[in-house]
Chain A
Amino acid sequence: GENVEQHPSTLSVQEGDSAVIKCTYSDSASNYFPWYKQELGKRPQLIIDIRSNVGEKKDQRIAVTLNKTAKHFSLHITETQPEDSAVYFCAARWSGGYNKLIFGAGTRLAVHP
Chain B
Amino acid sequence: ETGVTQTPRHLVMGMTNKKSLKCEQHLGHNAMYWYKQSAKKPLELMFVYSLEERVENNSVPSRFSPECPNSSHLFLHLHTLQPEDSALYLCASRGDGYTFGSGTRLTVV
Contacts and interface: CB of A to CB of B under 8 A. Distances in A.
Interface of A: 4, 32, 34, 36, 42-46, 49, 89, 91, 97-106
Contact of A43 (B40, B48, B102): B102
A98 B55 contact: yes
Contacts of B43: 44, 89, 103
The number of chain B residues touching the other chain, given as a range, is 20 to 34
A43 B2 contact: yes
Contacts of B106: none
B104 to A, nearest CB: 11
B31 A99 contact: yes
B6 to A, nearest CB: 9
B42 A46 contact: no
B97 interface: yes
Interface of B: 2, 31, 33, 40-43, 45, 48, 50, 55-56, 90, 94, 96-103
A44 B19 CA distance: 24
B41 A44 contact: no
Given A4-B42, A43-B101, A44-B98, 18 more contacts: A32-B97, A34-B97, A36-B97, A43-B2, A43-B100, A44-B43, A44-B90, A45-B100, A46-B97, A46-B98, A49-B96, A49-B97, A98-B56, A99-B94, A100-B45, A100-B56, A101-B45, A106-B42
Contact of A104 (B42, B55, B56, B96): B42
Contacts of B31: 98-99
A46 to B, nearest CB: 5
11 contacts: A4-B42, A32-B96, A32-B97, A43-B103, A44-B43, A44-B100, A98-B55, A100-B48, A103-B43, A105-B40, A106-B42
Contacts of B99: 46
A90 to B, nearest CB: 10
A92 to B, nearest CB: 12
Contacts of B50: 98
Given A98-B50, A98-B55, A98-B56, A105 B103 contact: no
